[in-house]
Amino acid sequence: MSTTGATADPLAALGSLPGVAESVESVRKAVDRVYGHRIMRRRSNEITSEAALRGARGSGALSGADWALEEVRRRTDFSGDDEARTMGAALRLTAEAGQLLSVWRQSPLRVLARLHLVAAASDSDEVGRPRQEGEQVDEPLVELELPSAADVSGRLDGLSELIIAGSSAPALVTAAVVHGELLALRPFASHNGLVARTAARIVLVGSGLDPKSVCPPEVGHAELGRAAYLAALDGYVSGTPEGMAAWIAHCGRAVELGARESTAVCEALQRGAA
Protein backbone atom coordinates (compact mmCIF):
# COMPACT_ATOMS: atom_id res chain seq x y z
CA MET A 1 0.00 0.00 0.00
CA SER A 2 1.33 3.41 -0.90
CA THR A 3 1.35 5.76 2.06
CA THR A 4 2.09 8.86 0.02
CA GLY A 5 -0.22 11.30 -1.63
CA ALA A 6 -2.63 14.07 -0.78
CA THR A 7 -4.88 12.05 1.51
CA ALA A 8 -4.13 12.88 5.14
CA ASP A 9 -5.66 9.62 6.32
CA PRO A 10 -5.20 6.99 3.60
CA LEU A 11 -6.58 4.23 5.82
CA ALA A 12 -9.82 6.14 6.28
CA ALA A 13 -10.00 6.66 2.52
CA LEU A 14 -10.06 2.89 2.07
CA GLY A 15 -13.18 2.76 4.21
CA SER A 16 -15.07 4.56 1.45
CA LEU A 17 -14.30 1.94 -1.19
CA PRO A 18 -17.38 0.17 -2.62
CA GLY A 19 -18.56 -2.63 -0.35
CA VAL A 20 -16.19 -1.88 2.53
CA ALA A 21 -18.79 -0.16 4.70
CA GLU A 22 -21.04 -3.19 4.30
CA SER A 23 -18.20 -5.51 5.34
CA VAL A 24 -17.46 -3.37 8.37
CA GLU A 25 -21.11 -3.43 9.45
CA SER A 26 -21.40 -7.17 8.91
CA VAL A 27 -18.31 -7.76 11.05
CA ARG A 28 -19.63 -5.53 13.80
CA LYS A 29 -22.90 -7.46 13.94
CA ALA A 30 -21.07 -10.81 14.04
CA VAL A 31 -18.80 -9.65 16.86
CA ASP A 32 -21.74 -8.20 18.80
CA ARG A 33 -23.53 -11.55 18.63
CA VAL A 34 -20.63 -13.27 20.40
CA TYR A 35 -20.31 -10.59 23.05
CA GLY A 36 -24.03 -10.64 23.64
CA HIS A 37 -24.12 -14.37 24.37
CA ARG A 38 -24.99 -15.15 27.98
CA ILE A 39 -22.00 -17.48 28.35
CA MET A 40 -19.67 -14.55 27.66
CA ARG A 41 -20.88 -12.84 30.82
CA ARG A 42 -19.81 -15.77 33.00
CA ARG A 43 -17.09 -17.68 31.19
CA SER A 44 -15.39 -15.22 28.85
CA ASN A 45 -11.91 -16.37 29.91
CA GLU A 46 -12.69 -19.87 28.67
CA ILE A 47 -13.91 -18.50 25.35
CA THR A 48 -10.76 -16.40 25.00
CA SER A 49 -8.53 -19.40 25.70
CA GLU A 50 -10.38 -21.59 23.23
CA ALA A 51 -10.32 -18.85 20.59
CA ALA A 52 -6.56 -18.54 21.05
CA LEU A 53 -6.06 -22.25 20.48
CA ARG A 54 -8.32 -22.31 17.43
CA GLY A 55 -6.75 -19.17 16.04
CA ALA A 56 -3.26 -20.65 16.35
CA ARG A 57 -4.44 -23.82 14.65
CA GLY A 58 -5.87 -21.79 11.76
CA SER A 59 -2.74 -19.68 11.35
CA GLY A 60 -0.56 -22.77 11.42
CA ALA A 61 -2.73 -24.37 8.76
CA LEU A 62 -2.21 -21.40 6.45
CA SER A 63 1.55 -21.78 6.93
CA GLY A 64 1.54 -25.48 6.03
CA ALA A 65 0.78 -27.20 9.36
CA ASP A 66 -2.83 -28.22 8.83
CA TRP A 67 -3.42 -30.19 12.02
CA ALA A 68 -6.67 -31.28 13.58
CA LEU A 69 -7.67 -29.16 16.55
CA GLU A 70 -7.45 -32.09 18.95
CA GLU A 71 -3.92 -32.83 17.79
CA VAL A 72 -2.92 -29.25 18.63
CA ARG A 73 -4.69 -29.54 21.96
CA ARG A 74 -2.98 -32.76 23.06
CA ARG A 75 0.57 -32.12 21.82
CA THR A 76 3.20 -30.83 24.20
CA ASP A 77 6.30 -31.14 22.03
CA PHE A 78 6.51 -28.84 19.01
CA SER A 79 10.23 -29.22 18.33
CA GLY A 80 10.09 -32.10 15.86
CA ASP A 81 9.58 -31.61 12.14
CA ASP A 82 8.84 -28.41 10.21
CA GLU A 83 5.08 -28.70 10.74
CA ALA A 84 5.48 -29.12 14.49
CA ARG A 85 7.78 -26.11 14.67
CA THR A 86 5.32 -24.05 12.63
CA MET A 87 2.47 -24.95 14.96
CA GLY A 88 4.64 -24.22 17.98
CA ALA A 89 5.43 -20.79 16.55
CA ALA A 90 1.73 -20.09 15.98
CA LEU A 91 0.91 -21.00 19.57
CA ARG A 92 3.73 -18.86 20.97
CA LEU A 93 2.62 -15.88 18.91
CA THR A 94 -0.96 -16.20 20.08
CA ALA A 95 0.21 -16.19 23.69
CA GLU A 96 2.55 -13.25 23.11
CA ALA A 97 0.07 -11.01 21.26
CA GLY A 98 -1.83 -10.00 24.38
CA GLN A 99 1.37 -8.74 26.00
CA LEU A 100 2.06 -6.29 23.18
CA LEU A 101 -1.19 -4.36 22.87
CA SER A 102 0.04 -1.31 24.76
CA VAL A 103 3.26 -1.14 22.74
CA TRP A 104 1.67 -1.43 19.28
CA ARG A 105 0.34 2.12 18.93
CA GLN A 106 3.63 3.65 20.10
CA SER A 107 6.12 1.36 18.39
CA PRO A 108 4.67 -1.09 15.85
CA LEU A 109 8.09 -1.93 14.43
CA ARG A 110 9.28 -2.96 17.87
CA VAL A 111 6.24 -5.22 18.17
CA LEU A 112 6.88 -6.80 14.77
CA ALA A 113 10.50 -7.48 15.71
CA ARG A 114 9.36 -9.08 18.95
CA LEU A 115 6.81 -11.23 17.14
CA HIS A 116 9.45 -12.52 14.76
CA LEU A 117 11.79 -13.26 17.65
CA VAL A 118 9.06 -15.25 19.40
CA ALA A 119 8.08 -17.11 16.23
CA ALA A 120 11.62 -18.04 15.22
CA ALA A 121 12.74 -18.98 18.75
CA SER A 122 16.33 -18.76 17.58
CA ASP A 123 19.39 -16.63 18.26
CA SER A 124 20.34 -16.47 14.58
CA ASP A 125 21.53 -13.10 13.34
CA GLU A 126 18.53 -12.55 11.03
CA VAL A 127 15.95 -13.06 13.78
CA GLY A 128 14.06 -10.06 15.15
CA ARG A 129 15.01 -7.59 12.42
CA PRO A 130 13.95 -6.86 8.84
CA ARG A 131 15.88 -8.79 6.23
CA GLN A 132 18.89 -7.27 4.54
CA GLU A 133 19.71 -7.20 0.85
CA GLY A 134 20.60 -10.64 -0.43
CA GLU A 135 19.11 -12.58 2.47
CA GLN A 136 16.77 -15.40 1.55
CA VAL A 137 13.16 -15.59 2.69
CA ASP A 138 11.61 -18.87 3.75
CA GLU A 139 7.95 -18.26 2.89
CA PRO A 140 7.10 -20.88 0.23
CA LEU A 141 3.33 -20.46 0.39
CA VAL A 142 3.43 -16.82 -0.74
CA GLU A 143 4.90 -16.71 -4.23
CA LEU A 144 4.58 -13.00 -4.98
CA GLU A 145 7.57 -11.07 -6.22
CA LEU A 146 9.77 -10.25 -3.25
CA PRO A 147 10.36 -6.52 -2.65
CA SER A 148 13.92 -5.36 -2.13
CA ALA A 149 15.23 -4.78 1.36
CA ALA A 150 15.25 -1.03 0.67
CA ASP A 151 11.59 -1.12 -0.35
CA VAL A 152 10.78 -3.15 2.76
CA SER A 153 12.46 -0.58 5.00
CA GLY A 154 10.64 2.34 3.43
CA ARG A 155 7.24 0.71 3.46
CA LEU A 156 7.62 -0.54 7.03
CA ASP A 157 8.44 3.01 8.10
CA GLY A 158 5.37 4.26 6.24
CA LEU A 159 3.14 1.65 7.86
CA SER A 160 4.56 2.50 11.27
CA GLU A 161 3.86 6.19 10.73
CA LEU A 162 0.25 5.44 9.84
CA ILE A 163 -0.27 3.36 12.98
CA ILE A 164 1.39 5.89 15.28
CA ALA A 165 -0.51 8.83 13.74
CA GLY A 166 -3.82 7.05 14.27
CA SER A 167 -6.72 6.87 11.88
CA SER A 168 -10.47 7.20 11.82
CA ALA A 169 -10.61 4.06 9.69
CA PRO A 170 -12.59 1.10 11.04
CA ALA A 171 -10.50 -1.53 12.81
CA LEU A 172 -11.22 -4.03 10.04
CA VAL A 173 -9.64 -1.74 7.45
CA THR A 174 -6.53 -1.08 9.52
CA ALA A 175 -6.10 -4.76 10.37
CA ALA A 176 -6.50 -5.75 6.72
CA VAL A 177 -3.86 -3.24 5.60
CA VAL A 178 -1.39 -4.34 8.28
CA HIS A 179 -2.00 -7.98 7.36
CA GLY A 180 -1.76 -7.43 3.60
CA GLU A 181 1.28 -5.18 3.79
CA LEU A 182 3.28 -7.63 5.88
CA LEU A 183 2.39 -10.52 3.59
CA ALA A 184 3.32 -8.48 0.53
CA LEU A 185 6.63 -7.31 2.01
CA ARG A 186 7.68 -10.49 3.84
CA PRO A 187 10.05 -8.31 5.87
CA PHE A 188 11.63 -11.15 7.83
CA ALA A 189 13.68 -14.14 6.81
CA SER A 190 10.92 -16.51 7.99
CA HIS A 191 7.49 -16.78 9.65
CA ASN A 192 6.07 -13.75 7.84
CA GLY A 193 2.58 -15.20 7.45
CA LEU A 194 2.34 -16.07 11.14
CA VAL A 195 3.60 -12.61 12.13
CA ALA A 196 1.22 -10.85 9.72
CA ARG A 197 -1.83 -12.65 11.07
CA THR A 198 -0.79 -12.00 14.66
CA ALA A 199 -0.29 -8.30 13.96
CA ALA A 200 -3.76 -8.12 12.39
CA ARG A 201 -5.21 -9.75 15.51
CA ILE A 202 -3.43 -7.18 17.70
CA VAL A 203 -5.11 -4.41 15.71
CA LEU A 204 -8.56 -5.96 16.10
CA VAL A 205 -8.12 -6.44 19.84
CA GLY A 206 -6.37 -3.16 20.58
CA SER A 207 -8.91 -1.15 18.60
CA GLY A 208 -11.71 -2.32 20.86
CA LEU A 209 -13.53 -4.22 18.13
CA ASP A 210 -12.70 -7.54 19.80
CA PRO A 211 -11.20 -6.58 23.18
CA LYS A 212 -11.41 -10.09 24.67
CA SER A 213 -9.91 -11.66 21.52
CA VAL A 214 -12.77 -14.10 20.99
CA CYS A 215 -13.25 -13.72 17.22
CA PRO A 216 -10.10 -15.27 15.73
CA PRO A 217 -9.85 -14.31 12.05
CA GLU A 218 -7.23 -17.01 11.51
CA VAL A 219 -10.02 -19.56 11.90
CA GLY A 220 -11.94 -17.88 9.11
CA HIS A 221 -8.94 -17.56 6.80
CA ALA A 222 -8.22 -21.25 7.21
CA GLU A 223 -11.85 -22.15 6.60
CA LEU A 224 -12.01 -20.04 3.45
CA GLY A 225 -8.90 -21.84 2.23
CA ARG A 226 -5.36 -21.03 1.22
CA ALA A 227 -6.24 -20.54 -2.46
CA ALA A 228 -8.87 -17.90 -1.65
CA TYR A 229 -6.47 -16.28 0.81
CA LEU A 230 -3.74 -15.92 -1.78
CA ALA A 231 -6.19 -14.78 -4.47
CA ALA A 232 -7.46 -12.05 -2.18
CA LEU A 233 -3.87 -11.07 -1.36
CA ASP A 234 -3.24 -10.64 -5.09
CA GLY A 235 -6.01 -8.03 -5.00
CA TYR A 236 -4.28 -6.17 -2.19
CA VAL A 237 -0.93 -6.23 -3.96
CA SER A 238 -2.53 -4.91 -7.15
CA GLY A 239 -3.30 -1.67 -5.33
CA THR A 240 -6.48 -1.15 -7.33
CA PRO A 241 -9.63 0.02 -5.52
CA GLU A 242 -11.38 -3.21 -6.49
CA GLY A 243 -8.48 -5.36 -5.32
CA MET A 244 -8.12 -3.53 -2.03
CA ALA A 245 -11.85 -3.72 -1.36
CA ALA A 246 -11.85 -7.44 -2.13
CA TRP A 247 -8.99 -8.04 0.32
CA ILE A 248 -10.73 -6.06 3.06
CA ALA A 249 -13.97 -7.96 2.42
CA HIS A 250 -12.08 -11.26 2.59
CA CYS A 251 -10.54 -10.27 5.92
CA GLY A 252 -13.98 -9.23 7.14
CA ARG A 253 -15.46 -12.57 6.23
CA ALA A 254 -12.63 -14.27 8.13
CA VAL A 255 -13.51 -12.30 11.27
CA GLU A 256 -17.17 -13.24 10.86
CA LEU A 257 -16.27 -16.91 10.63
CA GLY A 258 -14.06 -16.60 13.69
CA ALA A 259 -16.98 -15.04 15.53
CA ARG A 260 -19.22 -17.87 14.39
CA GLU A 261 -16.70 -20.39 15.72
CA SER A 262 -16.71 -18.79 19.16
CA THR A 263 -20.49 -18.55 19.14
CA ALA A 264 -20.54 -22.31 18.60
CA VAL A 265 -18.16 -22.73 21.54
CA CYS A 266 -20.51 -20.62 23.68
CA GLU A 267 -23.43 -22.81 22.65
CA ALA A 268 -21.49 -25.96 23.49
CA LEU A 269 -20.57 -24.63 26.92
CA GLN A 270 -24.17 -23.66 27.52
CA ARG A 271 -25.26 -27.21 26.73
CA GLY A 272 -22.54 -28.56 29.02
CA ALA A 273 -20.88 -30.31 26.12
CA ALA A 274 -17.55 -28.54 26.37
pLDDT per residue of the chain (274 residues) written in tens, 0 to 9 = 644 344 578 999 999 999 999 999 999 999 999 999 999 999 999 999 999 999 999 999 999 999 999 999 999 889 889 999 999 999 999 999 999 999 999 999 999 999 999 999 988 889 999 999 999 999 888 989 999 999 999 999 999 999 999 999 999 999 999 999 999 999 999 999 999 999 999 999 999 999 999 999 999 999 999 999 999 999 999 999 999 999 999 999 999 999 999 999 999 999 884 4
DSSP letters, the chain, are ----SS-S-HHHHHTTSTTHHHHHHHHHHHHHHHHTSHHHHHHHHHHHHHHHHHHHHHHHHHTT----HHHHHH-----SSHHHHHHHHHHHHHHHHTTSHHHHTT-HHHHHHHHHHHHH----TTTTSPPPTT---B-TT--SPPPPHHHHHHHHHHHHHHHHH--SS-HHHHHHHHHHHHHHH--SSB-HHHHHHHHHHHHHHHTTSSTT--S-HHHHHHHH-HHHHHHHHHHHHH--HHHHHHHHHHHHHHHHHHHHHHHHHHHHHHHT--
